[in-house]
Amino acid sequence: MATKYTWKVCLVGDTGVGKTCVAVRFHQDRFTGTIPTIGYAFMEKTLQVDEIEHQFNVWDTAGQERYRSLARGFFRRASAMVLVYDITNSHSFQVLDKYWVRSAQRGAPENAALAVIGNKSDIDDDKRQVTEEEGSTFAQKHNAIFMEVSAKTGKNVNEFFEELARALTKTPELEFQAVGMRILNTSGQDSEASTDEKTSKNRCCSSSS
């Protein structure tokens, strides 16, 4: 039987950088209009990489300042924290170093993997405010995977998750473990369940759009 891993991946970064669009592109391979996320959205997708099955539980968090403390609550037991910026918005890049790295490190397990995505690579070069080299240097500093992607065209989105899967395979201890609890059903028999499993029943859910 093929090995199967489950990874919890949280997308974080400023509002408008395209976290939801990246998640939707990965999950449904489409690009849709979005509204700012309220709270979080959850999506699940399985990828086959090098004959290993990787189930990604992707938590798309809200970047708006008023939801930031709420977002941190979702980082617990994360296998990887993905810091997303918009290559046409230098502020969204600077704020990764100023805020999101620390926020991710505080909320997620100490050894959680870090990755960096520069989104909107489809936009013309004259609007670019962050070079690929700057993105790559920042990622190297944090020992993180780095890729420029476009949620709009789909460029590199799957490739990013494939690379993340390969990296995570080297640290199986980061695999997502649902916390079990016993619940009594109406017939009085007890059964195993977990809060995370219950959340994931819908496969894709959202507190916003």
Ligand X SMILES: Nc1nc2c(ncn2[C@@H]2O[C@H](COP(=O)(O)OP(=O)(O)OP(=O)(O)O)[C@@H](O)[C@H]2O)c(=O)[nH]1
119 contributes a contact to Mg ion by CB under 5 A = no
CB of 38 to ligand X, least distance (A): 8
Residue 204 touching ligand X (CB under 6 A): no
Q: Does 151 bind ligand X (CB under 6 A)?
A: yes
Q: Which two tokens stand for residue 36?
A: 């700012």
Q: Which is nearer to ligand X, 22 or 80 (CB)?
A: 22
Residue 89 interacts with ligand X (CB under 6 A)?
A: no
Q: Residues 124-143 vs ligand X: string with x where CB under 6 A? A: --------------------
Taking CA 8 as the corner, what is the angle to CA 178 and CA 97, rounded to the nearest 5 degrees? Answer: 135
Q: How far apart are the first and last CA of the chain?
A: 38
Site residues for Mg ion, 161-180, by CB under 5 A, read none
Helix (H) or strand (E) holding 102: helix 101-107
The crossing angle, in degrees rounded to 10, of helices 19-28 and 157-169 is 80
The reply on whether position 156 binds Mg ion by CB under 5 A is: no
CB of 10 to Mg ion, least distance (A): 12
DSSP-based three-state secondary structure for 42: strand
CA 194 to centroid of chain Cα atoms: 21
Q: Which helix (H) or strand (E) holds 196?
A: helix 195-200
Which among ligand X, Mg ion, none contacts residue 15 (Cβ within 5 to 8 A by kind)?
A: ligand X
Structure tokens at 66: 């008023």
Interface residue list for ligand X (CB under 6 A): 15-21, 34, 36-37, 62-64, 119-120, 122-123, 150-152
Interface residue list for Mg ion (CB under 5 A): 19-20, 37
